Amino acid sequence: MNGSSKPIGLMNVSQILDSWSLFYSKFITEYRKEGINFWGFTIQNEPENAQDYEACLYTPEYTRDFIKNYLGPRIKKDHPNIKIMIYDHNRDHAFNWAKIIYSDLEASKYVDGMAIHWYSSVSDGPDLEDYDKLTLTHNLDKSKFILGTEACWGNGVKLGDWYRGEAYAKDIIKDLQYNVVGWNDWNCFLNLQGGPNHVDGWCDAPIIVDVENQSFILQPMYYFFGHFTKYITKGSIRLDYTTNNQNLLITCFLTPVNNQVVIVAQNIEEQPINFLLYDSMFGDNYYLNVTLPPRSIKTLIY
């Protein structure tokens, strides 16, 4: 490697690329010896982001060739059940990466999915647009999943910040509606400063630990997150819905737990929202009258 210099941070030499592929394989093997099993990995965190911390730039073309000629065959041989995810960066460029890599059949056969982050290039928080890029990516190859692999708030801890929790929920609902199969927070726990971090990159987290007083604080993000993690269980199937209110965000699933239907509804406006919930399985004579207070979230189960 030669750092994060452009256009790519990994030297384009066959011997180095072969050794780098072997490193991935050995990494998986050594962790397995310690009882830690991986199900998959991304090739590089934020391959378009040159940073002063651990980073390495990749282009989609370079990634395609690396997978096709080195990494893919190596992992397929040594760890055939391990899934390889491409990109692992903001969703605005996901479609472009998918077009270039999925269209190459030799590279694509080694790729199981696409990893995305929630950030915007112009703020410390989420990019709450560009969801259409996810549908375009999904439609290129519906056999490949899309997974949200990183989200967090930057610029340190804000205790009790309701908006940060709202943004979590909004992004999760939107991602799920646009074919994403899961969503990961970058940090479950951080200290009161938003670390530790070796480059002073202070962030926020759902749980803040007060080390000095040996206590912890549950942030609004924690509770917003729980509406999804507690009830939308593994193996759930997303259901379609219709609504005529753009400030009412909804996602709904049929879960494997007694065939329960789980609906998560979020009101993102400053006024209460009242709506009637119908299920076409039961006809128009059966409905539930639901009220969501301003800037609130509610989970419905039946």
Q: Which helix (H) or strand (E) holds 207?
A: strand 207-210
C-alpha distance across the termini of the chain, in Å: 54
Which of 30, 34, 46, 61 is catalytic? The answer is: 46
For residue 158, the Cα-to-chain-centroid distance in whole angstroms is 22
Place of tokens 């651990």: 54
CA dist 67 to 33, 82, 86, 100, Å? 25, 14, 9, 12
> How many CB atoms neighbour CB 225 within 10 A?
19
What span, in angstroms and rounded, lies between the C-alpha atoms of 61 and 259?
44
Is 106 assigned a catalytic role?
no
Which of 54, 150, 166, 212 is catalytic? The answer is: 150
The token pair at 11 is 């030297």
> How many CB atoms neighbour CB 36 within 10 A?
9
* Cα atoms in the Cβ-side hemisphere of radius 13 Å centred on 193: 9
What span, in angstroms and rounded, lies between the C-alpha atoms of 152 and 150?
7
What span, in angstroms and rounded, lies between the C-alpha atoms of 75 and 84?
9
Place of tokens 């647009």: 129
The answer to whether the beta carbons of residues 26 and 37 sit under 8 Å apart is no
Is 269 assigned a catalytic role?
no
Q: Annotated catalytic sites, by residue?
A: 46, 150
